[in-house]
Amino acid sequence: MAIISYKCPNCDGELIFEPSTQKYKCEYCGSLFSQEELDAMKPAEGSERIDDGAQTAEESPREENGETAAAGAVIYSCPSCGAQIVTDDTTAATFCYYCHNPVVLGGRLEGKYLPDKIIPFAVTREAAEKGFGEYISKKKFVPKAFFSKKQIESMTGVYFPYWIYDTKLEGSMQAEGRNIRVWRSGDTEFTETKFYHVQREGEVELSNLSENALKKANAKLAKNMLPYDFSKMKEFKTGYLSGFLAERRDIEKQEVEGKMQQEMRENAERLLRETIKGYNSVSVRNTRIVPKKENWSYVLFPVWTLTYKAKGGQIYYYSMNGQTGKVSGELPIDYAKVTVVSAVCAAAALVLALIGGFFL
Ligand SMILES: [Zn+2]
Ligand SMILES: [Zn+2]
């Protein structure tokens, strides 16, 4: 299975995942299908080949992920129209540039790249566009081109890859607690210091620490998008990607696990420390945190994104968490607008000065 496109059984139109109903909708006849119904369908498949132009992917030397890493760009043929779709090697879902039908590059998400879980889009395109309008209206000096109709229509839903880490830790902590009492009797001041040996032991379960799993430049679009509501996380199904773009991870667990384990140890230490109360001062003498059980999941999180390339080539962006609607971005500044406003301010100051001068 390489390249997939889900077709409506009633009219052969494209099926895309619809955030408002959490079902699959035919863009042409409007029919809705549940996950179970989609699972029962056989998706249309296209073919995949590496961009040396001669070999099919099946014939070419393969790595574990199903493609030759050196190739970089990979060409697929669209299951709907046969057009060739060129992608880079982390793309997992995209659109055909010719017929605009959504295609899911199933082969990109197999084996060790098969996500364990996914948070499906819950924010509709309409809501994402509306949110953008409101965000922009609060900002000054943004060039018109950034929020033109054409630009807003280019807003794209992208699934970004993340690592999630759950762990159970066993911890013990020894500390010295001090309580000091001062009192006076006649001319003498007495100080009493009581020392306590404090011992804590416990098990801490920490879950859902998440870490970005994409190195590529566009990972920036998913910055500041956390947190997500993990209770809405679903078992991964390829169908969720239909109608969206998706990135495959290019950061492996080994690259982030040290940092994430350290963060969890610090959390556990802090939780243990917080149980020591009732002393004037506490000094921790010894702490031991041992991981007992850990679990890693590879997941995809939804983000609505909009990018804008300024004259100098710099890319600005707007992003919205595709589940919660939280917004973040880096906006271009229109210096012409800034100048006009400062000129107006200067003029206003001059008028005030003149009025002042006149009356005084
Ligand atoms: Zn249909
Ligand atoms: Zn096509």
Give yes or no for a cis peptide into 79 (omega within 30° of 0). Answer: no
**Ligand 2 centroid vs 77 CA: distance in angstroms?**
8
| Average pLDDT of span 340-354 | 68
In a domain, 253, yes or no: yes
Do 80 and 170 sit in the same domain of this protein?
no
What pTM did the predictor assign? 0.78
Do 184 and 313 sit in the same domain of this protein?
yes
In a domain, 72, yes or no: yes
In a domain, 177, yes or no: yes
Q: Of the bound ligands, which one is closest to the alpha carbon of residue 26?
A: 1
In a domain, 346, yes or no: no
pLDDT of residue 49: 56
For 16-69, the pLDDT digits (tens) are: 999 999 999 998 999 999 999 998 887 777 766 544 433 344 433 333 333 333
For 191-223, the pLDDT digits (tens) are: 999 999 999 999 989 999 999 999 887 888 888
Q: Of the bound ligands, which one is closest to the alpha carbon of residue 7?
A: 1
Do 20 and 81 sit in the same domain of this protein?
yes
Which candidate, 16, 113, 127, 116, places its Cα nearest to that of 66? Answer: 113
Q: 252 pLDDT exceeds 60?
A: yes
Q: Of the bound ligands, which one is closest to the alpha carbon of residue 82?
A: 2
Do 194 and 274 sit in the same domain of this protein?
yes
Do 177 and 308 sit in the same domain of this protein?
yes
**Ligand 1 centroid vs 245 CA: distance in angstroms?**
22
Do 89 and 169 sit in the same domain of this protein?
no
b/e sequence 16-48, b meaning 16+ C-beta within 10 Å:
bbbbeeebbbbbeeebebebeebeeeebbebeb
| Residue that terminates a domain, selected from 89, 114, 139 | 114
pLDDT of residue 350: 67
Residue 73's domain comprises: 3-114
**Ligand 1 centroid vs 296 CA: distance in angstroms?**
39
Q: 182 pLDDT exceeds 90?
A: yes
Contact 333, 310 (CB under 8 A): no
Do 109 and 162 sit in the same domain of this protein?
no
Do 175 and 257 sit in the same domain of this protein?
yes
Q: Tell me the two tokens of residue 82.
A: 């046969």
For 141-156, the pLDDT digits (tens) are: 787 777 788 888 888 9
Question: How many domains in the chain?
Answer: 2
Do 102 and 180 sit in the same domain of this protein?
no
